[in-house]
Structure formats: C-alpha cells, structure tokens
Amino acid sequence: MRALILGGTSDAGRLADAIARARMDAIYSYAGRTQDPAAQALPTRIGGFGGMSGLADFIRRERISHVIDATHPFAAEMSRNAVAACAATGTALIALERPPWTRISGDNWIDVADIGAAVAALPEQPACVFLAIGRQHLAPFSVKPQHAYTLRLVDPPDRPLPLPRTDLIVSRGPFTLADDRELMRSRDIGYVVARNAGGSGARAKLDAARELGLPVIMIARPDLPERLRVDSIDDVLAWLGHDARLGA
C-alpha cells in the first residue's frame, strides 16, 4: 500500500499525523499556494502535477495504490483531476470531506451560488465588507469599488490588489472568536463574505457575525463528481486497511 494525500487543509494535516503514527507509506501533496506551508509528518511534495495526465503519471511512477482527496471543498479542479486520474489508472480514491456549515438560530445568512452572486448581493450604498475568501477571487468585487473591503490573506500580496479601498490583514488560520469579533467591531463591518469551507479552522467569523447581528453572504460549494466520501480520519484509516482502534 502506498497512499497519496492531496492536502492543504487542517484536516489533511491531522490525517497525515494519523497515517505517520500508523507507519503507513504515504506522500503528502501541497499545491504551493502559500510561501511557508505547515510542515507535515509525511514526506511532502509541493506544486501542481500538470493536469489530470500529470497526476496519472505521478500515480504510476510513484506506484500509488490509494489516493485520499483531503483538499478544501472549493479546490474543485484538483478533486475533478483526482477522479479522472484514478479512473484512468485504476487507483482507489476516497475523499475526506468535512460537512458544510449549516445556519443556526441567530444566523443572518444570504445564501449565494458563487462569487458573482456574492458581489451582486452586496448593496449599492457604500459599506464596510469583510472579504474572508483569500486572495485568488478578489477581482470580481472590483465592480463595486464603493465599499471599504477588509481582506484576510495568508501571505503579503506580491502584486497590487484589484480593489481601491482595502484594509489588509495577513494571517493564516485557524482563527478565534475573540479575534474575529474584534476584527469586525473595530472596522465597523456591515457584511461578511465567506465560502462554505466547513470545519473548525475558519468558522469563528460566523460565530462573531451572529453575535454582532451581521449578515453573512455565504457562497455554496461547487458541485464535485461522485466519489467515495467520508468525513472522519478513522474512516480513511479503515479504508486504508488500518484499524485505528489497534493504535499505531
């Protein structure tokens, strides 16, 4: 057995720890989006594979027998490539996918399908907007330059930002309720824009918004192709043939 973890999330890191403890043969993979990704307990490769065919070549060359897609729910291209490459090479594939966040009493969510709909959901009247969606998808918001945008990025930007009025926070998660509440209160935030990432690492902003009675424009997850999906690390270990109850 030799596993490839398509990682880049806190859940993927916890899975890598469990697989290393179980002394299973595995490789962890980052896309290379950030300057200083968290170290992992497994041998790690960084960078794209070169599309579906590049991933299939990697699987053959490295004699990968099991692929675990533990990427973020919005890493849709990687997930699609994994389904295609595993089908082409006859390799076992499982996705470790955290459940989406669901609204609870007191939440004021505006559900939207994608980034474009999130832009449309913002008012015409100037507002203070917390764009908690990272760096890669900011350009669509430039059609509403009237807002004061608070941005949270993992790394300092290496090129000019596409929005005229920005307040930049450079911080990687996981985030805390106290910090996110203070962030919103000190900047008089009127709207929060978020992707439905799920998990615990970035949900603090939702709890802070609820406390402050702020609307959250919640971007739904992209559709992904059908593949075997679990939401627990123990289920992944069992699928790999390791019974977590037996310990290491």
Binders of ligand NAP: how many residues, by CB under 6 A? 24
Q: Which is nearer to ligand NAP, 6 or 204 (CB)?
A: 6
Contact with ligand NAP (CB under 6 A) among 20, 76, 112, 244: 76
Contact with ligand 3Y8 (CB under 6 A) among 4, 5, 10, 42: 10
Query: Which residue has 């859940």 as its token pair?
Result: 11
Is residue 51 at the binding interface for ligand NAP, with CB under 6 A as the rule?
Answer: yes
CB of 125 vs ligand NAP, minimal distance in Å: 29
37 binds, among ligand 3Y8, ligand NAP, none (CB under 5 to 8 A by kind): ligand 3Y8
Is residue 49 at the binding interface for ligand NAP, with CB under 6 A as the rule?
Answer: yes
Contact with ligand NAP (CB under 6 A) among 1, 2, 43, 48: 48
Contact with ligand 3Y8 (CB under 6 A) among 17, 20, 25, 33: 33
Query: Distance (Å, rounded) from C-alpha 29 to C-alpha 12?
Result: 10
Ranges within 185-244 binding ligand NAP (CB under 6 A): 195
Dihedral through CA 150, CA 155, CA 157, CA 163, nearest 10?
Answer: -20
Site string for ligand NAP, 85-124 (x = CB under 6 A): ----------------------------------------
Site string for ligand 3Y8, 118-157 (x = CB under 6 A): --------------xxxxxx--------------xxxx--
How far from the centroid of its chain's Cα atoms is residue 33's Cα?
12
Is residue 127 at the binding interface for ligand NAP, with CB under 6 A as the rule?
Answer: no
Q: Which residues pair with 215 in a beta bridge?
A: 108
Query: Distance (Å, rounded) from C-alpha 72 to C-alpha 97?
Result: 8
Residue 85's alpha-carbon distances to 9, 12, 25, in angstroms, are 21, 20, 20
E strand spans, 56-147: 66-69, 92-96, 108-112, 128-131
> Angle of helix 76-89 relative to helix 51-61, nearest 10 degrees?
50
- For residue 86 the two structure tokens come to 């595993």
Query: Distance (Å, rounded) from C-alpha 69 to C-alpha 207?
Result: 28
153 binds, among ligand 3Y8, ligand NAP, none (CB under 5 to 8 A by kind): ligand 3Y8
| Rg of the chain taking only CA atoms, in angstroms | 19
Pairing outcome for strands 166-170 and 148-153? parallel
Residues that bind ligand 3Y8 (CB under 6 A): 8-10, 30-34, 37-38, 132-137, 152-155, 172-175, 195, 197, 199, 201-202, 205
